[in-house]
Structure 1
Amino acid sequence: MSSHQLRIAVAGILHETNTFAPGFTDIGHFREQWTVGGEAFTARYAGTRTSMGGVIAAAEMQGIALVPGLYVAATPSGMVDSATGDALIEALVESLDSQTDGLVLIMHGAMVSEQYLDYEGECLRRLRAKVGEDFPIAMTLDLHGNISQEMVQQADLIVGYDTYPHVDMYERAIEAFGLLVRTIRGDIRPVRALAHTGMLVVPQGMMTEEGSMKALMERAFGMELLPGVLNVTVAGGFPYSDVPDAGMSFVVTTNDNAELAERCAAELVQMATYDKATFNVSYVTPREAVDEALAQPDGPVILSEGSDNVGGGAPADATHLLAELTTVPRKALIVIRDQEAVETAWRMGVGGVFAGEIGGKSDTLHGKPVAVKGRIRLLFDGHYRHAGPYMTGQQAEMGKTAVLECGQLTIILTEKRVAPWDVGHVRSVGLWPGDYHIIVAKSALAWQTAFGTFAKHVINVDSPGCCNANLRHFSYNHVHRPVYPLDAEPQPRFGLYA
């Protein structure tokens, strides 16, 4: 290849779609993170520990010209409507400069629209139609991606996050960028083996620092030290997307060594399926959780309300725990999305007394509205930046926000859904996690990047919701069967792509 300066494109659409969540996701949900072109992309993401920031840093380190196209993202939520699904793909393809030398595509892996159950696969197929089969493409994915054959066929390289809670997207983007450059220069020829376990694993069973998930990751890291292995991606999958390829899978990429890729992938499947029962988790009811938390001599005690996991697409207004906390005798903190209640608080002003029902307004599954009464302590526009290890520097927005003091219970009312990924959502309204005995986290595990350093105890709460850990609560129509734990035994699937 000639010594001309390489030009590498970067683009992406990122959304984790919960097909069981209420409502639809439309194009307006993507407007907060909608960037097109180099100036906007660099202004927003340079210096952040995000996938986008990693691509910018990698290009600078290697002296490569970066050519950003469209990048959009939305907070996890319900099914993407068909008009939005088509509009985003068309905008993505249109934004790509096909005269570049390659593409880094930043995706989630569990995006679903009404007409495309494999949204990432459809994006890749449309991009290939524009740039051709020989155009090198590297794709980054979330650890919760549901990886399809189409995705592995169409992308030369797939690099997924290695951590949950996710703190390495910056490093994985740098890794993907480096492998793409080596592919463009002809130094490597990626061959991919895809292996699906035939297992649905709930997010609470995927923490990468303990248990069977840690063992899988450590074995994957060991495989990456083998000569010829370029990357091993362990994808826990996203069980709340009812799609054929939902569930845990592995992608092993080698340098032109199909046998090695297949052997490594098969070994990981064997490990995962042998330990399948260890990925299950146990819970207590909301009442039991509060009683257990109050019995602890020290706090904060984190009540992990995974059924209303904002990071999994839940509505953020579940009230099953809130109803148990209104007369709690020790200091407690909860975040509830309720646009109507926030507007009322803003009209009343700081110092006013709010009395009304909050939460439980998305649907009946996540509870009924709960009556509360308390002083309005603070009003806030909701803008802050991530200060912790998850996407450090990333802009975030809660929308209009009000802090209510209701006896021992502090309620942060937000206009928009807020995942507890960063302590900034509490610090930005003048609160400190260490001051509370009980903190409700509407999250499965990702709350640890916000509250992990404060937590003295953790209690997993079993309550109704679209991210419930008991998957038998859901009616699956599309997932490949048999699949564990809906069925007694998993049925692994394999494929090889070069």
Structure 2
Amino acid sequence: MPSKRPIIAIAGLACETSTFTPSRTLAPAFHPQRGDEIISRYKTFLGAGTPLSAAAEWHGILTGHALPGGVVTRPAFEALAGEITSRLSHLISTTTQLDGLWLDIHGAMVVDTLDDAEAELLRRIRAVIGPDVIVSASMDLHGNVSRELVHGCDLMTCYRTAPHEDTLETKERACRNLVSVLTTERLPDGSVRRPLKAWVPVPILLPGEQTSTRDEPAKHIYAAVPEVEAVEGVLDAAVWVGYAWADEPRNRAAVVVTGWEEHPVVEGAERLARLFWDARADFRFVAPTGSLGECLDTALASKARPYFISDSGDNPTAGGSGDVTWGLTQLLARPEFKDTATGPVVIYASVPGPEAVRIAVEAGVSATVTVTAGADIDNVHAGPITMTGRVHSIKHGDKWAETEVVLQVGSVFAILTKLRKPYHLERDFVELNLRPREADIVIVKIGYLEPELYDMAADWMLGLTPGGVDQDLERLGHHRIRRPMWPFDKTFGAGPGLKARMIQMSNEPLVGPNE
């Protein structure tokens, strides 16, 4: 074992990308961080005084985490990937040896004219760092895991909860596994013993709203992951649901198990794959579903308050453009919400409208304004919406929205933003002088409710609304995914063949058919 601490670089790009929205993701959307900014971002496990900080020398290269959205433009990818490889080249030129790399990615990024963007990014990284550097990837369970990506990595892990309450825990595990391999698996010649990798692609493609780990069958599938990991000879086990709103050959569920002994690695991977496959017909939406009209009717008839409704088709944290106006248009057309004084209090989050926000800010709180917002990018389902209402509140300086305005139209409090923003936290509303716990109905562009919203909701429904992340996958029009694929296909001939593929080490050539 070398006396010095291993040197580890950190790099990666993350963007959950829908190919069914017309929006495009540009380089600034990734909010790239470099150097010590990255260490600070992950200070809970890489900051001074932490065991991982003491165990290795960490170098932030470049990481970028964009809000989910449309396809990443090729120039954006080239600029960011180019900076990553350039900075890695500089690090290698100034240090004696690069031992490891933590690949901080999501796994569902789509780049214009590229398939399998994460594998392409890793290919370029490998061209700089060489085949001997140990690479450990952390991913979202809604990412996609191709054979090429598994080959390029030595270690892979992903979230085990949806909603994602173990994000930092997963990233720390990826780093901890990497350090463990680098410090305890040195061979006499100074090289590192590389873990075995078993990969099983599973021909299932489901939305996250049917695969939440709060509910069965995902609950028992993910409960089996630490059981597999605990088997002697296994280092890590991971199950990916995959990403449903992109149309690429790699999009499907997958299992990867890594370790030191082939039998338990293969057996564990195949066990998890069979659990997933055997439950394919049991997946259900996480809440009662209906059209937006049906959801509103149910909410109005219910005594549960606040009653939450997910406007799921334009969910910006799943890849929706965020500016579809269909839901708000339907809401404001309802007669129940016309009266400012007596109508049920409804909060709607949200619709972008930079010009509408500018007009409202200039007019000020309590002013009555007429503004037009939304459908600047995605106008497939509805055009821009024009509203007349009272400016209820204004907030500046949000990381995502930049400026937010609440416009009261009848009994509806509609949040308008300069740039799109997800609304996941109670403070997102409270800081706009809104009280979601006291509202009758809260409508949020989201799929399954994030933890704080879930805890607030007395009851809720999932609105099956149109948009770039439509829950009705079969009406979206996938044509490039591998077939057969559940639920698009119900018959599979002799079956899906859930046999583990042992993937070569990353320092060996990738051979065999593309799968």
TM-score by length of 2: 0.88
The range that moved more, 140-149 or 272-281, is 272-281
Structure 1 pair 10/417, CA: closer, same or farther in 2 (3 Å)? same
SS at match of 2:228: helix
Change (3 A) 1:145 1:54: farther
Work out the CA distance in 1 between the residues paired with 2:47 and 2:65. Answer: 17
Distance 1:465 1:174, change over 3 A: same
Query: Which amino acid is the alignment partner of residue 73 of structure 2?
Result: D
Letter in 1 for 2:428: H
8 Å CA contact retained: 1:290, 1:324: no
Partner SS, residue 483 of structure 1: coil
Which one of the candidate residues 435, 439, 454 is aligned to 1:432? 435
* Residue 451 of structure 1, CA deviation: 0.8
1:414 CA displacement: 0.7
Contact 1:309/1:444 (<8 A) preserved: yes
Q: 2:10·2:59 contact (CA, 8 Å) conserved in 1?
A: yes
1:329-344 equivalent positions in 2, closer than 5 A: 329-335=343-349, 336-344=351-359
1:321 aligns to what SS in structure 2? helix
Q: Which letter does structure 1 place at the counterpart of 2:136?
A: A
Q: Tell me the CA shift for residue 428 of structure 1.
A: 2.4
Residues 55 and 106 of structure 1, relative CA distance in 2, 3 Å threshold: farther
User: Gaps (5+ residues) in structure 2?
Assistant: 186-192, 338-342, 506-515
| Corresponding position of 2:295 | 289
CA offset digits 1:258-313 (Å, max 9, x no partner): 23222222222222222112224363111111010111102111111211111111
Q: CA distance change for structure 1 residues 7 and 424 in 2, over 3 Å: closer, same or farther? A: farther
The equivalent of 2:125 in structure 1 is: 127
2:146 maps to which of 144, 148, 172: 148
Query: Does the CA contact (< 8 Å) of 2:23 and 2:321 recur in 1?
Result: no
1:323–1:455 CA distance, 2 compared to 1 (3 A): same
Conserved? CA contact 1:423–1:449, under 8 Å:
no
- What is the match of residue 7 of structure 1? 7
Cα distance in 2 for residues equivalent to 1:208 and 1:467: 20
Whole-angstrom CA distance in 2 between matches of 1:7 and 1:56: 15
Aligned length: 475
Give the Å deviation of 1:347. Answer: 2.2
Partner in structure 2 of residue 299 of structure 1: 305
Aligned equivalent of 1:214, options 214, 219, 223: 219
Partner of residue 408 from structure 2, selected from 381, 385, 405: 405
CA deviations 1:463-497 (Å, max 9, x no partner) are 21111111111222321111111122463564212
Distance 1:366 1:259 in 2: 52
Do the aligned residues in 1 keep the contact of 2:98 with 2:129 (CA within 8 Å)? Answer: no
Q: Using the alignment, how far apart are the partners of 2:240 and 2:161 within structure 1?
A: 10
Measure how far apart 1:382 and its partner are: 3.7
Classify the secondary structure of the residue corresponding to 2:376. coil
Cα distance in 2 for partners of 1:56, 1:121 equals 29
Per the TM alignment, residue 59 of structure 1 is displaced from its structure 2 partner at its CA by 5.7
Rounded Cα–Cα distance in structure 1 between residues aligned with 2:47 and 2:240 = 25
Q: Which amino acid aligns with 1:123?
A: L
Look up the match of 1:194. Answer: 199
1:378-406 CA distances to partner (integer Å, 9 max, x unpaired)? 211142xxxxxxxxxxxx33121111122
Distance 1:81 1:8 in 2: 29
Question: Larger deviation: 137-146 or 419-428?
Answer: 419-428
Q: 2:418 aligns with which of 415, 419, 423?
A: 415
**Distance verdict in 2 for CA 1:46–1:273, change over 3 Å:** closer
Quote how far apart the aligned CAs of 1:215 are.
1.0
- 2:275 is the alignment partner of 1:260: no
Residues 432/205 of structure 1: CA separation in 2 closer, same or farther (3 Å cut)? same
Q: Which amino acid aligns with 2:282?
A: T
Deviations along 1:28-53, one digit per CA (max 9) or x if unpaired, are 322xx211212x3344x155xxxxx5
Aligned partners of 2:324 and 2:378 also within 8 Å: no
Contact 1:365–1:464 at 8 Å: present in 2 too? no
Structure 1 residue 147, shift from structure 2 partner:
0.7
- Structure-1 residue corresponding to 2:275: 271
**How far apart are 1:230 and its partner, in Å?**
1.1
Aligned residue runs from structure 1 range 175-254, under 5 A: 175-187=173-185, 189-254=194-259
Which moves more between the two structures, 399-408 or 130-139?
Answer: 399-408
Counterpart of 2:465 in structure 1 is: 463
Aligned with 1:252: secondary structure? strand
Structure 1 residue aligned with 2:57: 65
Q: 1:89, CA displacement in angstroms?
A: 1.4
* Distance across 2 between alignment mates of 1:374 and 1:350: 11
**1:60 offset after TM fit, Å?**
4.9
Query: Corresponding residue for 2:331?
Result: 325
**TM-score, L = length of structure 1:** 0.91
Identify the range of structure 1 (89-98 vs 8-17) with the bigger mean alpha-carbon deviation.
89-98
**In the alignment, is the contact (CA less than 8 A) between 1:342 and 1:414 conserved in 2?**
yes
User: Which amino acid is 1:253 matched to?
Assistant: T
**C-alpha displacement of 1:420:** 2.5
Give the alignment partner of residue 138 of structure 1, picking from 136, 146, 164.
136
Instruction: Supply the distance in 2 between the matched residues of 1:366 and 1:62 (Cα, whole angstroms).
Output: 54
1:338 maps to amino acid: G
Aligned to 2:383: 368
Distance 1:135 1:435 in 2: 55
Q: For residues 479-494 of structure 1, what are the structure 2 equivalents within 5 Å?
A: 479-489=481-491, 491=496, 494=500
Give the Cα separation in 1 of the matches to 2:491 and 2:356: 47
Contact 1:195 1:492 in 2 (8 A): no
Contact map agreement 2:392 2:405 (CA 8 A) in 1: yes
Equivalent pairs: percent with the same residue? 27
The code of the aligned residue for 2:348 comes to I
Offset from partner CA, 1:88-125 (integer Å, 9 cap, x none): 21111122233332111100001111132111101111
Letter of the structure 1 residue corresponding to residue 156 of structure 2? I
Q: Which is further off, 359-368 or 154-163?
A: 359-368
d(CA) in 1 for partners of 2:402 and 2:312?
23
User: 1:401/1:104 Cα in 2 relative to 1: closer, same or farther (>3 Å)?
Assistant: same
- Do the aligned partners of 2:347 and 2:443 also contact (CA within 8 Å) in 1? yes
Matches within 5 A, 1:147-166: 147-166=145-164
Structure 1 residue 360 displacement after superposition = 3.4
- Measured in 2, the distance between the counterparts of 1:423 and 1:144 equals 25
Contact 2:323 2:378 (8 Å CA) reproduced: no
The alpha-carbon deviation at position 61 of structure 1 amounts to 5.1
Question: Structure 1: which 5+ residue stretches go unaligned?
Answer: 48-52, 384-395
Secondary structure of the structure 1 residue equivalent to 2:71: coil
Aligned pair partner of 1:378 in 393, 397, 406: 393
Q: Partner amino acid for 1:234?
A: V
Residues 62 and 253 of structure 1, relative CA distance in 2, 3 Å threshold: same
